[in-house]
Amino acid sequence: MSDEPKRRGRPRAYDPERALTRARRVFWDEGYAASSLDALGAAMAMNRPSLYGAFGDKEALYLKTLEGYRDRSLEALRGALDPARPLRACLASVYAKSIEIYLAGEHGARGCYLIGTATSESVRQPAVRRILRESLHDFERAIADRLRLAVEKGELARRADVTALSRLASAVMHSLAVRARAGEQRSTLEAIARSGVDMICGPEKRGRER
């Protein structure tokens, strides 16, 4: 699946969404500090005056890419947590799709854009810290909503701590992102994902017990 959005409607001199996608690729591969305006402009097919006029300075551009990634990731997460499907299948789908994203990259596995770039920049940039914190909370709320429904449907015990479990589910994604970027094999990531699902849903019952 391409991370570059499809064009819609009338063509323009430039497509803001497409330009942000290309800027995000540069930041993702190089990191914020190492991403020069020349490299960003070349990737976005924009000169410096046009880039500044459309998106502001480098920090403003980076923040826009973070927000866009957060919004698209949250939409995908909610879609994977489809209430019509069993919770176990939902979580397995979330982790499987996450692994596909984390292992992708022209120069090697890139992990998660937020975890891979914003965690380092948040130390000196309060705006980045705010987006990172809010994004993590948004993801956890989406998971918690699905877990509450799972309690109502009897998929989880009534006494289940939905808040704690949603944080655990989110933490598994963070671990997958870091390990993917560190070069772990897909099989290792998939084993971690299965363990995460089991910790939340309980071990999967396989056949009849004897």
Task: Give the pLDDT mean for 131-150.
Answer: 97
Judge whether residue 7 has pLDDT over 70: no
Judge whether residue 130 has pLDDT over 80: yes
Higher pLDDT, 124 or 10: 124
- What pLDDT was estimated at residue 108? 87
The three-state DSSP-derived secondary structure of the chain is CCCCCCCCCCCCCCCHHHHHHHHHHHHHHHCCCCCCHHHHHHHHCCCHHHHHHHHCCHHHHHHHHHHHHHHHHHHHHHHHCCCCCCHHHHHHHHHHHHHHHHHCCCCCCCCCHHHHHHHHHCCCCHHHHHHHHHHHHHHHHHHHHHHHHHHHCCCCCCCCCHHHHHHHHHHHHHHHHHHHHCCCCHHHHHHHHHHHHHHHHCCCCCCCCC
Q: Tell me the CA distances in angstroms from 35 to 72, 129, 142, 195, one per residue in order.
A: 23, 19, 32, 37
Q: Where are the domains of the chain?
A: 68-201
Match domain 68-201 to its CATH number in 1.10.357.10, 2.40.30.110, 1.10.3720.10, 1.10.4190.10.
Answer: 1.10.357.10
C-beta neighbour count of 121 within 10 angstroms: 21
pLDDT tens digit sequence for 163-181: 999 999 999 999 999 999 9
Using 50, 70 and 90 to split pLDDT, how confident is the model at 84?
A: very high
Using 50, 70 and 90 to split pLDDT, how confident is the model at 9?
A: very low
Using 50, 70 and 90 to split pLDDT, how confident is the model at 14?
A: low
- What pLDDT was estimated at residue 13? 57
**What radius of gyration, in Å, describes the C-alpha atoms of the chain?**
19
Task: Give the pLDDT mean for 60-77.
Answer: 96
Judge whether residue 188 has pLDDT over 50: yes
Using 50, 70 and 90 to split pLDDT, how confident is the model at 198?
A: very high
Residue-averaged pLDDT of the chain: 91
Q: pTM, whole model, 2 decimals?
A: 0.87
Judge whether residue 31 has pLDDT over 50: yes
Judge whether residue 15 has pLDDT over 80: yes
Contact between 162 and 148 under an 8 Å Cβ cutoff? The reply is yes
Q: How far apart are CA 138 and CA 155, in angstroms?
A: 23
Q: How far apart are CA 117 and CA 100, in angstroms?
A: 18
End-to-end CA distance of the chain: 44
Judge whether residue 2 has pLDDT over 70: no
Q: How far apart are CA 11 and CA 97, in angstroms?
A: 31
Task: Give the pLDDT mean for 51-63.
Answer: 94
Amino acid letter, 34: A
